[in-house]
A = this chain, B = another copy of it.
Amino acid sequence: MTTRRAMLDVLKGEPVFPPPLWMMRQAGRYLPEYREARKKAGGFLDLCYNPDFAVEVTLQPIRRFGFDASILFSDILVVPHALGRDLRFEEGRGPLMTPMSAADVDRLDGSSFHQRLAPVYETVRRLRAELPQETTLIGFCGAPWTLATYMIAGHGTPDQAPARLFAFRHPEAMERLLAVLVDYSAQYLIRQIEAGADVVQIFDSWAGILDEATFEALCVKPVAEIVRRVHAVHPDVPVIAFPRGAGTRYDSYRQKTKVAGLGLDWTVPLSQARQLQAGGAVQGNLDPLRLVAGGRALSEGVSAILDALGKGPLIFNLGHGITPDTPIEHVEAMVRQVRSFSGR
């Protein structure tokens, strides 16, 4: 069993055996105790603002699997919500917002931002008190570009065409939107750290959909600025970024954003991932469907990652969130396999 220290050591670039282990979306519907808690509770968004529920479901996977890290139960879209954009979640449709025009950018209202997010800070405080001392607590936010994709389209899309087109047609409005999101996201992470988060992670789920020029302007630059602002206040708190789909651009992304940890999606080849370890910790990157399938698909996938990356600074994780149809026994098998890795 590794310790809270261990994850922080890995984020400083020091390998730990076995590597610390957690799963994106580990508090979720694949767990019967989560489904049970969810039954008694209200709508998804209400739950993000309900510390009793959020603390309980965040603790569930730690109790069951003893993961090395715990990530706050919440949603990336609470940030635009706290800036006055409407937001609701519909079963089977995901998040729905009123699509945003260029003119709406200047109407974003952060006057009650921290007040609206107070329940999240409360959740973090209670989690730090209730979690085992050895469990690292991860706070998080969405990256400005990924938040912008939902704010502009009003819902998830397969290729983020509305936000890409907005960026091409209204470059100044896009720049102002990202600046507002950078500002409040940095404040949001700082407050989470002050409430007890040991590490913060920035999710940029739609980084991979942009061309070279827009990737630099819309992904790299805003995240670099958030990291700079967080480190200006809390220089020792490591930041992990997950620019999903960044492909060839992962290396320059780390150099430019100065993140300590790089979350790798499952399409990153392990030879590339090993090169990336020269610049610091990597986190990932098992295809979540290997965990659904189990058997050889799972054990071979886990082995390949441990063999390629286990001797360097690695936080073992999935390459994306765990899916609701994942059998618990497969998670148990994965945990056993990772925990049996001695680095030899």
Among B210, B212, B270, contact of A212 (Cβ-Cβ < 8 Å): B270
Count, chain A residues at interface, CB 8 A: 38
Please report whether the interface of chain A is mostly helix, strand, loop or mixed according to DSSP. Answer: helix
Chain A, range 261-304, C-beta contacts under 8 Å to B: 266-272, 285, 287, 289-290, 292-293, 297, 300-301, 304
Check if A248 sits within 8 Å of B272, measured CB to CB: yes
Among B212, B247, B292, contact of A247 (Cβ-Cβ < 8 Å): B247
Interface string of A25-37 (1 = CB under 8 A from B): 0000000000000
Which stretch from A66-74, A128-136, A164-172 is at the chain B interface?
A164-172
Check if A161 sits within 8 Å of B289, measured CB to CB: yes
Count this chain's copies in the assembly: 2
Give the chain B neighbours of A214 by CB distance below 8 A: 287
Q: In whole angstroms, how far apart are the Cα atoms of A211 and B305 in the complex?
A: 11
Give the chain B neighbours of A233 by CB distance below 8 A: none
**Closest CB pairs A-B (n = 3):** A247-B247, A168-B293, A168-B297
13 more A-B residue pairs beyond the given contacts A215-B267, A245-B247, with a C-beta to C-beta distance below 8 A: A165-B292, A165-B293, A168-B289, A168-B290, A168-B292, A169-B293, A210-B267, A211-B266, A211-B290, A213-B300, A213-B304, A245-B245, A245-B267
